[in-house]
Amino acid sequence: MDRLSFRISEENRRRLEILKAFSVLNGSSPTLQDLVNEAVERLFVSAYERYCSAHAERDFMREIMEGALPEAKE
């Protein structure tokens, strides 16, 4: 997926600018795209963990989510 267009709140825009100015991801300064991708990845992993704790060990949704989990970062 190349490009998405969406509105974000002014408060979240401000948070992104602060994160961009003061964070480091993978040893370098992140772009806004890096920050958004990292946030989505972390939210997905969190949703997966919550889903697993509330549902059967093997089910269709869990298998789909497992297939979309990010690869482990070293």
* Residue 58 φ/ψ region, left for φ over 0, alpha for ψ in the -120 to 50 degree band, beta for the rest: beta
DSSP state of 2: -
Q: Which of 1-5, 21-25, 33-37, 55-59 has the highest mean pLDDT?
A: 33-37
pTM here is 0.79
Q: In whole numbers, what is the pLDDT of the chain averaged over residues?
A: 89
pLDDT at 68 over 60: yes
